[in-house]
Structure 1
């Protein structure tokens, strides 16, 4: 079975350790991971910003890049969500019906990491070791678009050494929302302030999530608050083992 990695723009440009952790984890579980070099932006940013016509060439490129993959995994709920719930709709609305059909077929083979592990590979204990107190932020796209539910938490509960603590008001947005954080900075900052307060209330040393974008936003808020709390992607925790020097993942900390 060929599992192709959709690395995402953010991992490629800012958090490559998240993509590496995803590959390391899946290979440790005995799977072959490929990386289609033709991949580029999935077009989510264009779609969400109101430019669906400009997203069509990106959707076409995405469909071609991953055409031969048995499965596609993305360490990003937002990008997986765009592929699954936006690509075919946008292509069809722009009159690209053949592309829409191809996008629908690819969407059926595309999974966020926790979905792939739990639903497809049937694994909840990946042999990870991460001896830290961790709280988990369920990002909006993972929660509301993909509806991954308890899958990430189930995986975290099987990580050796990890103490999982509940995040107050966990389902509240962190305030990122892509360009929303730029166009509505004051509102975004106020939402983030509430999220930072909730994270600090847990006493956790790390905040995990399934989207590096939200983690970067949260990490910036933690840094400005002078908090000694790191941000770490779910893939990094699951890829960590007892053989690591101190059980730490590389982290997405922005400090």
Structure 2
């Protein structure tokens, strides 16, 4: 029962200018994004991290590199499955323009039915395919981390807005068609613990809450059981720990890159 910290990359110029970056190369953090990530790294400084796995895209690699600083023996690994949704013909286009496309309504109202248009330059996929490959790799790495480092281990997955929303929807037992209810802002922290019986979402879209509850408790304190009536503490064995304030922009692709 390791714990995964789902980190969205910091803000980019594509975010601030309302462009869907997708798999466009050369999209890195802007000044605000670098400040956001530095703040998050400071908050996580005392949380022991066994592994850091990142999307291969530049903005996530830059985010992960900051999180890895000062952690002896921890290097940034890459996993294509954590990469942004492959938006195909939507890649690099303004959000305002995409909002006029009939597919936009499908993305908003029935994401599981949305497949992005093919393109000569950029690969395309459906949101269902994106969700499946992200869930598969995160659950697999989580098992590997627990086998190697024990059930109190913590690891980091650095990814993108839509990808993290899909991971949270899966952990919450939600259908993908409801994942637009979830907000994941740049440089936000979401936390999931997978157990043999269920997943616990310890926090979502956190941009400022204390992280002391993420310091692992002894293995015997971890449990698959939820406490009736809700939790009263905030220890690492506490699946009902409070989440941070929600923030950021809503919608699948508004800032989802």
Higher RCO (C-alpha under 8 Å, 6+ residues apart): 2
Comparing both structures, which one devotes a greater share of its residues to helix?
Answer: 1
The TM-score, its normalising length taken from structure 1, stands at 0.36
